[in-house]
Amino acid sequence: MLDDRWRIPFTPWRVGLDGLLGLIPVVGDAAGLALSVWLMAQARRAGAPRWLLTRMAANMGLDATIGAIPVLGDWFDFAFKANRRNLRLLQRHLARQSS
């Protein structure tokens, strides 16, 4: 939902709540970061190791830092999709743990 919720009509691109919130100066980026932190907290509750949480935090930090740059940051938010990356990292880790 944060990165891929809606498909832009007639294109292969998807957007989510994080990218849309990022269009609102300052408040939107802060709200997107808060949602990302919530996802990371869920990963911690699921037993993610410190190295994985660090990698997820790096993705969030990059997204928040570049996302704060006017215009360029908005494009970056739509392209980088830190939350999707973090979810995939967690899913791969959990799949390895259950094998």
Do you know the residue count of the chain?
99
- CA 2 to chain centroid: 7
pLDDT tens digits along 6-46 = 998 999 988 888 778 878 887 888 888 888 999 899 999 98
22 DSSP 8-state letter: T
Taking the C-alpha atoms of residue 26 and residue 51, their distance in angstroms, rounded to an integer, is 29
CA 17 to chain centre: 10
In angstroms, the CA 6 to CA 86 distance is 19
pLDDT in tens, 22-31: 788 878 888 8
pTM recorded for the entire structure: 0.83
